């Protein structure tokens, strides 16, 4: 009986917690607006949309949208963006914060890229009157209140929300701490997950190229340099692994091209390095078919070409992987995973190179060509 009583008590505690959570969510819309906003922003529809973000809104017959966005706040900035296609790049956002001197700020930003220099203040396609914007902080909550004029009546609209922990200096936004995107129906008040951004395609592009250029091909190169005594097994493994790696890498390039066609990301360094690495990879494939006999007078030149093209390909591929993880907004799992993989490869190469040079110094003979 005592055990039954304990189980019942635990169930009551869980039910009470769920009830309090539901009540807290309901109260997020039941709370009153700060008095300074009551005159111009009363009677708004209300909908919790993300984490503790609450969206209050009303659209009148003249297509003027009144918005009050509220969330918990201690410092930093809070923003709400309007996108034509669900993507960050090309959208316009209203961003508010409390400055270091305690003064409120709310400005429109044009999101022309992911770098801070391409997030441009006082630009964008949103039509508004600056005198209708207000930022208020009350009881650890920030309220962004603004009015926007549209040429049409909003229905299903792509919305982007984000926040950062650092106070903007000279209207320069720091990188967001978290973000989300969804489609909001201003006629029914329903939000749905925005499937416009091809997250799966971005993951496929990254995973395929990391596995091909960051794992398989370095292993194939290690086999060719340090395991030639296991002849001819090293050669078949080297050719097989590199060919499979190239095919997987080519699939990653195709995914990257498809991703670019969807989001038109302006990342010339990543794209340029990718094209260069692919070119070197194609040269390596051609090298297999143009490989002269071991006793040919052209063999040493082929060796130089094959070895250095391969080393350059692996070096620039690793640089481009790091760059891709950075510009793609990869989380810590990508950074730690590839960093660990790169560290293991470098340690293995250093150890195997030391052993190779030790063996060469003892034998005083050159390595065979292939």
State the residue for tokens 């493994």: 237
Q: Is 306 annotated as a binding residue?
A: yes
Q: How far is CA 278 from the centre of its chain?
A: 23
Of 335, 245, 268, which Cα lies nearest the Cα of 113? 268
Rounded CA separation 134/45 (Å): 18
State the residue for tokens 């963006």: 81
CA dihedral 96, 100, 103, 108 (to 10 degrees): -30
CB 40, CB 67: distance < 8 Å? no
CB 208, CB 251: distance < 8 Å? yes
Of 263, 79, 106, 107, which Cα lies nearest the Cα of 175? 79
DSSP code string of 224-262? HHH-TTSTTHHHHHHHHHHHHHHHHHHHHHHHHHHHHHH
> End-to-end distance of the chain based on CA atoms, in angstroms?
80
Q: Is 238 annotated as a binding residue?
A: yes
Rounded CA separation 264/74 (Å): 35
CA atoms within 13 A on the CB side of 88: 19
Residue 159: helix, strand or coil by DSSP? strand
- Helices then strands, counting H and E runs in the chain, come out as 8, 13
Q: If you ran DSSP here, which 8-state letter would residue 310 be given?
A: H
Phi, psi at 247, each rounded to 5°:
-65, -45
In sequence order, the 6+-apart residues with CB closer than 8 A to the CB of 270 are 320, 323, 324, 327
Residues belonging to the binding site for heme b are 205, 238, 270, 306
Residues belonging to the binding site are 205, 238, 270, 306
């Amino acid at each position: 009986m005592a055990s039954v009583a304990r189980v019942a008590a635990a169930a009551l505690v869980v039910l009470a917690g769920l009830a309090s959570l539901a009540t807290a969510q309901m109260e997020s819309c039941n709370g009153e607006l700060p008095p300074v906003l009551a005159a111009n922003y009363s009677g708004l529809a209300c909908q919790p949309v993300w984490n503790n973000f609450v969206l209050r809104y009303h659209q009148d017959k003249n297509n003027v949208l009144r918005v009050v966005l509220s969330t918990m706040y201690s410092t930093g900035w809070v923003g709400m963006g309007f996108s034509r296609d669900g993507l960050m790049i090309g959208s316009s956002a209203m961003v508010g914060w409390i400055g270091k001197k305690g003064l409120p700020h709310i400005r429109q930003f044009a999101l022309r890229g992911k770098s801070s220099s391409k997030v441009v203040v006082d630009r964008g396609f949103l039509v508004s009157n600056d005198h209708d914007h207000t930022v208020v902080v009350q009881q650890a909550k920030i309220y962004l209140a603004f009015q926007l004029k549209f040429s049409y009546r909003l229905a299903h609209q792509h919305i982007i929300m984000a926040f950062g922990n650092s106070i903007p200096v000279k209207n320069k936004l720091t990188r967001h701490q978290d973000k989300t995107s969804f489609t909001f129906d201003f006629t029914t008040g329903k939000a749905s997950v925005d499937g416009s951004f091809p997250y799966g395609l971005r993951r496929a592009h990254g995973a395929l190229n990391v596995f091909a250029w960051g794992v398989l091909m370095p292993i194939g190169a290690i086999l060719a340099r340090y395991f030639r005594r296991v002849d001819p097994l090293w050669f078949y493994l080297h050719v097989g692994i590199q060919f499979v790696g190239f095919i997987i890498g080519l699939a990653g390039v195709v995914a990257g091209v498809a991703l670019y066609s969807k989001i038109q990301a302006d990342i010339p360094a990543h794209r340029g390095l990718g094209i260069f690495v692919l070119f070197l990879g194609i040269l390596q494939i051609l090298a297999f078919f143009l490989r002269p006999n071991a006793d040919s007078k052209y063999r040493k030149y082929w060796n130089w070409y094959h070895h250095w093209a391969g080393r350059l390909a692996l070096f620039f591929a690793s640089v481009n992987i790091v760059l891709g993880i950075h510009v793609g907004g990869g989380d810590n799992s990508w950074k730690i995973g590839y960093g660990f993989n790169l560290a293991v490869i470098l340690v293995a190469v250093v150890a195997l190179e030391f052993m190779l040079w030790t063996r060469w110094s003892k034998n005083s003979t050159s390595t065979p060509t292939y």
